[in-house]
Amino acid sequence: MGFGALAAAVAFVGAGWSYAAYWFIAMAAWELFLRPSLEARIFAPDEEHGAKRAFALLAALNFIGATAYCVLPVASWASGTAIGQVLAATWLCGTASHVLVYFSNNKLLLAANLVPSALVALLTPVLLAEVGWIERVLGSVVLVTILAATGVFARDRNSLLQTLSHEARARTSAEEANEAKAQFLSIISHELRTPINSVVGYSELLREELADKGEAQLSDDASKILGSGRALLGLVNRIITLARLESGDAPVEPITVRLTDVVRGAAEAARELAEANGNSFTVYADSMGVAALDPEMFGQCVTEICNNAAKFTRNGEIKVIAKRVRVGGVETLQVDVVDTGVGIDEAIAEKIFLPFVQGDSRADRRFEGAGTGLAVVRALARLMDGEVSFSNREGGGTVFTLRVPIAGVASDEKDELPRVA
C-alpha cells in the first residue's frame, strides 16, 4: 500500500490523473478489509467445499484485485505524458515480479494475477495512445517485452531462492546426520572399550601365568591375543577421539609438565610394537625443561606417529628425536620420528592425514589398519595450534615432524616443576 500511495501521487501530480486518490482509497479498502474477509470465507471449514473449488474462488478473487490494480497503468499511459508512461511501465514490471515470486507454485493463481497485466501491456498503447499505428505497436511491444523480461528475472530469482532453500535444508540434514554419526560412534566405541579392556587385562594375566608355568607355546598364543586386543583398543580409542573432535567435545587442557617425561612416556608406549617387528627403537629426548601443554593430547600424537612408524617398518630402525626450538619467534616443542620403513607413495601423500585413508590402500596390502591414526594426529595437533608433516627419506623410510607451540613459558633447564602452595 505504501508503493500504491507513492504511485498514486505520481499519477496525480505528474500524469494529471485526477481520480488517483479515489483509486488509492479503493485499493486500500480492498487490501485491508474486503479481500481478507472474502478469503476467510473461502477457506472457512466447510465439508461441502473442496480444495479445488476454494482455489478457483481464490483465483477469481485475485483476478478482480489484479484488474483493479491495472487501472493505474492504464490511466497513467492514457495521460500521454512521459512520466505517466514511465509509471505505467514501472508498475507493470513490479506487478510481474510480485506475481512470479508469490504465485509461481500454483498455475491457476499465477494466471489469474498475470493475465490482467499482460492484457494491459498488449492493448493499452494500441487503444489509448493518440499517435500513429507504428508508435502504438511499438509501445505494445515495449511494454510486453518489459513485462516478459521482468517475469523471467523474477522466475530466476524464485528458482535461486528455491535452490538456496534446498541447499540449506540439505546442509542442515547433513549436519544432523553427521552429529548423529558422531554420537553413534562415541556411544558404540565406549560400549566396545569396556569388554576390550577386559580381554586385554585377562590376556596379560594369562600370558604371565603361562610364562611362569613354562608353557612357552601357550604364553606366545596369549601374547598374540594381547597384541590383537591392544590394537583393537587403540582403534576404538582413535574412533572415540575422532567423534569427540567432530562434536567439538575435545578441549585443550594445558598443564605445566616436564617435556622430556611427556615425550619419553608417549614414545615408550610404541616400543613393544616396534621391537615385535624386529626394529631397534631409540628415543633422544634430553633435558628440555618444563612448559605448559596438554600432555594427554600431545602424548597421543607422539604415540600414534611412533605406532605408525613401527607398523610400516620391518627389521629396521626407528628414532624419536625431541627438542625445544623457536619457530617464527614462537617457542615450540618439536618431535621428529625417523624410520627406515617402506615410505609413502607420492600419489597419496596429500591424503594420508584424512580419516580412513591407508598408506597402502591395495586389497592385498601387507599392513593392517583403518587409517585413523594420522588423522587423529593432525586434528589434535591443529587443536593445539600446532601442525604435523612428513617427508620421505632418501634410501627409504619417512620422517614425521610434530610441532606444538609452548609460547609464554620459560625454559627450566633443571626440569623442576614449580611448587604449588
Q: CB count, 10 Å around CB of 377?
A: 24
Tell me the mean pLDDT in the region 301-325: 92
Q: What angle do CA 370, 373, 375 make, to 5 degrees?
A: 100
Q: How far apart are alpha carbons 318 and 280 in whole angstroms?
A: 6
Instruction: Please state which of the ranges 54-68, 116-130, 227-241, 246-260 shows the lowest mean pLDDT.
Output: 227-241
Residue 296 CB coordination number (10 Å): 13
Q: What is the pTM of this model?
A: 0.52
Residue 213 pLDDT more than 60? yes
In the structure, what pLDDT confidence band is assigned to residue 323 with cuts at 50, 70 and 90? Answer: very high
Q: How confident is the model at residue 210 (pLDDT cuts 50, 70, 90)?
A: confident
Give the other-Cβ count within 10 Å of 206's Cβ. 18
Burial level of 20, CB count in 10 A (0-12/13-18/19+)? Answer: buried
Residues in the chain: 421
Query: Phi and psi at residue 322, in whole multiples of 5°?
Result: -115, 140
pLDDT at 364: 39
Q: Which element (helix H / strand E) includes 402?
A: strand 398-405
Confidence of residue 421 (pLDDT cuts 50, 70, 90): very low
pLDDT at 362: 42
Give start and end residues of each alpha helix (H) in 70-132.
71-78, 82-103, 107-128
Please check whether residue 158 is in contact with residue 104, taking contact to mean a CB–CB distance below 8 angstroms. Answer: yes
- The mean per-residue pLDDT over the stretch 44-72 comes to 81
- Residue type for 50, please? G
Indicate the helix (H) or strand (E) that contains 144: helix 133-212
pLDDT score at 200: 80
Residue 279 clears pLDDT 90, i.e. is over it: yes
Query: Domain-by-domain residue ranges, the chain?
Result: 2-130, 255-405
What span, in angstroms and rounded, lies between the C-alpha atoms of 412 and 419?
Answer: 13
Look at residue 247 in the predicted model and tell me its pLDDT: 64
91: closest CA among 130, 146, 32, 158? 146
Q: How far is 150 from 148, CA to CA, in rounded Å?
A: 5
Average pLDDT of the residues in 4-11: 92
For residues 200-220, give the mean pLDDT: 84
Assess if CATH 3.10.20.440 describes domain 255-405.
Answer: no
Q: Give yes or no for residue 170 having a pLDDT over 70.
A: yes
Per-residue pLDDT, averaged over 285-298, amounts to 89
Residue 105 has pLDDT above 80, yes or no: no
Average pLDDT, the chain: 82
Predicted pLDDT at 407? 60
- Grid coordinates given for 279: 626394529
Condensed to tens digits (0 to 9), the pLDDT of residues 38-53 reads 888 877 655 455 777 8
Residue 405's φ and ψ, nearest 5 degrees, are: -70, 140
Q: Please compute Rg for the chain using Cα positions.
A: 39
Q: In this structure, which long-range contacts are made by residues 18-24, counting pairs with CB atoms below 8 Å and at least 24 apart in sequence? A: 19/75, 20/72, 20/75, 23/71, 23/72, 23/75
What's residue 27's pLDDT? 93
pLDDT digits (tens, 9 = 90+) for 110-160: 889 889 988 888 888 877 656 677 877 887 888 888 778 877 777 777 788
CA distance 211 to 208: 5
At 371 the pLDDT is 63
The whole-angstrom separation of Cα 187 and Cα 181 is 10
State residue 368's pLDDT score. Answer: 53
CA distance 323 to 318: 17
pLDDT digits (tens, 9 = 90+) for 349-365: 778 888 766 555 443 34
Does the structure show a pLDDT above 60 at 416?
A: no
Choose between 421 and 235: higher pLDDT: 235
pLDDT at residue 329 tops 70: yes
Q: Is the pLDDT of residue 402 over 90?
A: yes
